[in-house]
Structure 1
C-alpha cells in the first residue's frame, strides 16, 4: 500500500481546543443530503464539510497485550474495500460518530482537503463520511479531486456553488 501523506496530523495544533463535537449545522446539511437526495443538498453538505474540522480514525494494526494496550502496534488509517476492489477512506464529523463505528479508533483532526489528498494518495476512489451515521455521505470524483487540490466548495449568493482555492500561508523568513 502506498504511504499516505504525513499531513493528516498537521492540523492538531489548529484544533487544540476542539471539543470533538460536529460543527454546528453540519449534520443538518448531511441529513438533508441523505433525505433530500438532489444536487443542491449534496453540494451544501460538501460545502459544510469544507469548513469543518473532521476526524480521521486511526486504528492499531499489530500486536496487543493481554490488557488490550498496544504492544508493538503500528497505527494506520482505515480503508474499506468492496468486492470489486474499489477502496474508500473513512472520515467522521465528531467523536460520537467515530465511537459509533469503532470504540477503539483514535480520532485525528484534519481538514477535508488533507483527507481528500490522503484518500487519493492511498489509492482509494471514495471518501465515506460518518459511515455508521447519523447521516452518511459519499464523496467521489470529480469532487474528491478538486478537494485534494486544496480547493473548497462554497455556496454563492446567487444560490449556485463555486470552487475557492485556499491560499498557502506566506513563507516566514
Structure 2
C-alpha cells in the first residue's frame, strides 16, 4: 500500500476575505462584538521581519504576528474583520484567518492583555484583558435582564 501525504482541510474553504455578516451587524456595539467574536473568522496580520545576516549572505527574514505596545506598557494583538480592512492598515501584511477565540488565545500566548480589532478602521474595537480571557476560554457573552454576562 502506498501512503500519500495529504494536506489538512482548510478551516475556511470558501472564504472570500470579506467581513462575516454577524460581525458586520455587531460593529459599533462592543457587547454585540464580544457576543459574536469568538465564533467568527477574523484575520491576524503577519509581517516579515528582517533578521541579522552576515555581510555578503542572503537576507534572513522571520514572519511574526503584529503586537502594539501602549504608553502604559501593555501589549495588544491586532486582528481585522476583513482582508480589506487589514490591507487599508498595511497592504504588505499577510492575512492569517482564525476564529476570534483563537486570536484571543494567541494574544494571551504572546503576553498581550488586549486585542485590537480593525485598528484605524471605522469599526475599531478594543477588547480588554478580562474579555480576552473569556473569549480564549470559549465562553459566550449573553444578554440577561441585568445586562451582558459571560456564560462559562
TM-score normalised by length of structure 2: 0.80
TM-score normalised by length of structure 1: 0.71
> Residue 37 of structure 2 aligns with which residue?
49
> Residue 24 of structure 1 aligns with which residue?
21
> Residue 104 of structure 2 aligns with which residue?
116
Deviation beyond 3 Å, 4+ runs, structure 1:
158-165
> CA–CA distance in 1 between the matches of 2:19 and 2:12?
13
Deviations 1:22-69 (A, max 9, x none): 0114233213x2xxxxxxxx2112112222101000000116xxxxxx
Using a 3 Å threshold, how does the CA distance of structure 1 residues 83 and 160 change in structure 2: closer, same or farther?
Answer: closer
> Residue 10 of structure 2 aligns with which residue?
13
Is residue 2:79 matched to residue 1:91? yes
What is the number of residues matched between the two proteins? 139
> Residue 128 of structure 2 aligns with which residue?
140
Using a 3 Å threshold, how does the CA distance of structure 1 residues 26 and 12 change in structure 2: closer, same or farther?
Answer: farther
> CA–CA distance in 2 between the matches of 1:154 and 1:51?
14
| Structure whose CA Rg is larger | 2
Deviates more, 1:141-150 or 1:103-112: 141-150
Using a 3 Å threshold, how does the CA distance of structure 1 residues 83 and 12 change in structure 2: closer, same or farther?
Answer: farther
Deviations 1:105-162 (A, max 9, x none): 0000111111111111211111000002121000013211111112232456x69545
> CA–CA distance in 2 between the matches of 1:103 and 1:117?
25
Using a 3 Å threshold, how does the CA distance of structure 1 residues 23 and 145 change in structure 2: closer, same or farther?
Answer: same
Task: Choose the corresponding residue for 2:90, options 102, 106, 117.
Answer: 102
The gaps in structure 1 that reach 5 residues or longer are: 1-10, 34-41, 64-70, 166-173
